[in-house]
Structure formats: C-alpha cells, structure tokens
Amino acid sequence: MKNQNPTFYEEVRGNGVSRRDFLKFCTTMAAFLGLEASGVAQIAKALQSKPRLPVIWFHFQECTCCSESFIRASHPIVANIVLDKISLDYQETLMAASGFQAEDAYKAVMQKFPGEYIVMVEGSIPTENEAYCCIGGRSALQILREAVQNCKAVVAWGNCASAGCVQAASPNPTGAKPVHKVISGKPVINVQGCPPIADVMAGVVVHLLTFDRIPQLDGLGRPKAFYSRRVHDTCYRRANFDAGLFVESFDDEGAKRGYCLYKMGCKGPVTYNSCGIIKWNDSVSYPIQSGHPCIGCAEAGFWDNGPFYQHLPGVAGFGVETTADKIGVGLGIATAVGIAGHAIVTNIRKHKEIINEPEEGSNVETTKES
C-alpha cells in the first residue's frame, strides 16, 4: 500500500514524470510567481518534502468554468496538481464518491486536518433566500460557514466567488454574494477572472504549498503576483493606443492592422489580470490578441459595466445606452437655455436698475447730462 500521505514529488514520479520535467515545472511556476532564482529550489524542495495539501473544493452558484480552466493548465504537471498534489478529498465535479460517501469525505478532512486544510470555493452564495443553492439538504451558506471554521485559508476561485459575477449582476435576484462578504476571520484569496487563467490558479496553489502562507494581496484581495498589472499596461497593442490608432469597427482596416481596441469598448485600462503576460491556452493567445476587446472579466461588477462594446458604461438610472456624455450634453443645453431665459428676464425685470433710476429706499444719486 502507498504511503498514507505521499509528497507531490513521489506522486508525479510514480506517474512517470521525469525529474527533468518536474524541475521545468518548478521553474515555470517560479517565473509566474515572480520569484528570484532561488525560488525554484524552494518550490522543488517543498514539492519533494511536504505532504499534499488537504483541500475541500465547493461548487456553489457557478458554471464550473474555473474547474474547466484549471484542468486545462498549460503544463502537463499541473493536471497532477489537480488530481494529486492537492488532495481533492471533496470536489463535486471530479471526485468519484457521491451521496453520503461524498459528505463523509469532506467531513473527514475537517476532522483530520483542523487548521491545515484549505477551502476552495467556486461560485457565489445566495443570501436573498439561502434555499436557492442547497447541497445534500443544507444551504451553501451553512456549508461554507461550517467548513471555514477550522480552515487555514480560503481561496475564492473566479469572479463568482470573488465578486459575485453574473449572478450578482443587477437585479441580482438571488442576492448572490462573494465569499469574502459572507465569512469573516479567515484570509480570503480572490483569484479573479471569468474564469481565472489556469496557470494563475496553479501558481496560487504552488505558492500556498511552498511558502505555507497566503501570497501578498492587493486592496481587493487578489494575489499581487498576478493582478498588480493592468491588462492595458501589458498589452502589445499599447503602442497603437499612445499613437492614437484605433479600431473603429471589427471589419475596418485598423482591425486588420491590429490597432488598439479602446474605442471598441476595451476594458483593458480598468482591468488587472495577467492576460497580456501569461496569456491563455498554453500561452497561445488572449482575447485582445484575437481581436476582441477585453471585457474586464477580472473586475467586480463587470457585467453591469456594459455594454461590452462601449468605452464607458451606461449611467445607472438612465438606461444602458445613456453615457455620461449624453447626459452632460443634455444638461449643457438645458443650462444654456436657462441662461438665455435668465438674461432675457433680467433685461425686462431689472430695467430700472440697469438704466440706474434711483430705487426707493436706496441712497443712489443720479445725474443725467447730455
């Protein structure tokens, strides 16, 4: 029988991965995490010596695109992360167990590894009526609150768990809330994106494993290593932005020449993600490279910041097509009309003051000569 708690290295070697490939993987991860050269050794050491990370992975209100992204990570070893390095004792999509056995599996993790296990969450939590999302007869909120009580940290996968995503978009019928809004007292790592980039997800897991602490987070709880740069500042089309060369429609010459997609509603300037650096699908491409503007999927409320193909969102209360400029021009015209009206009234009502006839009760003396 195998070691009860084998290390990740033992696992992947057992699966036929060469040491050379293993080290390549460690190097890639160190690069993604922005570590210095010594970081490679740290990662290699951690993966060779540390037991697997106990993990409970919940699916609440979501579409499973985060799991889908994760298992498509670029490096072949990353697949092993999912299946071996972290012990997915409870992962509703991937585990074999079901029913009572499944419930037992995650309860066992909570009992066996108190203070050590990580809770990973995909999906938002309904609060308008908890019954909108129930598993095994208990609500998402109950399950999550119980599970985080003794956990080490919480990883919120994707926009749903980090900011509510489409479920929380106006009018948010289920009262969907992200993880950090419904629990307290535990560190929450928001791994943003819809879905997050697979290598980013892998990077976060490797970081947790190697350093035994949560990565540095930004003001919105996102790991700085992956979310501190704007898509706009890492975009290869940026030179076109500064040059004022813009795509005006998806079939114009500018689109063919690869001009900047700013006027097509690109949200790159307001979005923090690694798309321009790590890219997608084994670093083949990313949306902007394929000619589509960024829709800002790694930002809170991006569904409500639409339309996607418009630079600024509609103004709340005025309808989605009504931009700040339309309202501004309207108010400007109203003001100009008001000013003109006031000027006319002034010349009628204040006639006396303008020609300076003395007013009753004032001590103005007027002399008229001609």
Partner 1 sequence: MRSRTIPLREVHVWELPVRIYHWINALCIVSLCITGYIIGNPPAFMKGTEAYFNFWFGTVRFIHFVSAFLFFFNFIFRIYWGFTGNEFSRWYNFIPLKRCQWKEILDVIKVDVLQVTSKRIDSIGHNSLASLVYFITFLIFLLQCLTGFGMYGAMSSAFLPRLFGWVVPFLGGDMNVRQIHHLLMWGFILFALVHIYLVFYHDYIERRGVTSSMIGGWKFIEEDVIERHENKTEECPKG
Task: Specify whether the CB–CB gap between 159 and 194 falls below 8 A.
Answer: yes
How far apart CA 228 and CA 208 sit, in angstroms, is 19
| d(C-alpha 79, C-alpha 74), whole Å | 9
Please report whether residue 157 would count as binding ligand SF4 according to CB under 6 A.
Answer: no
Cα angle for residues 227, 39, 199 (degrees, 5° grid): 40
Please state, in angstroms and rounded to a whole number, the distance separating the CA atoms of residues 118 and 148: 8
Looking at residues 252 to 281 of the shown chain, list those that interact with ligand HEM (rule: CB under 6 A).
Answer: 269
339 token code pair: 């000013």
CA 246 to chain centre: 26
Is 337 a binding residue for ligand HEM by CB under 6 A? The answer is no
Residue 234 interacting with ligand HEM (CB under 6 A): no
- Binding region for partner 1 (CB under 8 A): 219-220, 230, 233, 239-246, 248, 253-254, 257, 262-263, 267, 269-272, 296, 299-302, 305, 311-313, 315, 324-325, 327-328, 331-332, 335-336, 339, 342-343, 345-346, 349-350, 352-354, 356, 359, 362-370
| Residue 223 engages ligand SF4 in binding (rule: CB under 6 A) | no
Residue that has been written with the tokens 């070691």 in this structure: 3
198 near ligand SF4, judged by CB under 6 A: no
DSSP string, 174-227: T-EE-HHHH--SS-EEEE-SSS--HHHHHHHHHHHHHHSSPPPB-TTS-BHHHH
Our CB check for ligand HEM shows the closer of 258 and 269 to be: 269
- Does 312 participate in binding ligand HEM (rule CB under 6 A)? yes
For position 243 contacting ligand HEM by CB under 6 A, the verdict is no
> Minimum distance between the CB of residue 243 and ligand HEM, rounded to whole angstroms?
13
Least distance between ligand SF4 and beta carbon 25 (Å): 24
331 touches ligand HEM by CB under 6 A: no
Which segments of the chain does DSSP mark as H helices, in order?
8-14, 19-33, 38-49, 65-70, 76-80, 99-112, 140-148, 158-163, 179-182, 198-211, 224-227, 238-243, 253-257, 324-349, 351-355
In the complex with ligand SF4, the residue whose CB is nearer, 133 or 275, is 275
In the complex, minimum distance from the CB of residue 269 to ligand SF4, in angstroms, rounded to a whole number: 5
Q: What are 141's two structure tokens?
A: 């909120």
The pair phi, psi for residue 34, each rounded to 5°, is: 70, 30
- Rounded to a whole number of angstroms, the minimum distance from the CB of residue 312 to ligand HEM is 5
Residue 332 sits at φ, ψ, to 5 deg, of -60, -45
- Which residue of 126, 178, 203, 296 would you call a contact of ligand SF4, by CB under 6 A? 296
Nearer to ligand SF4, 118 or 275 (CB): 275
Asked if 269 is part of the footprint of ligand SF4 (rule: CB under 6 A), the reply reads yes
- 86 forms beta bridges with 53
Binding site for ligand SF4 (CB under 6 A): 193, 231-232, 235, 237-238, 241, 260-262, 266, 268-269, 271, 273, 275, 286-288, 294-298
Binding site for ligand HEM (CB under 6 A): 269, 312
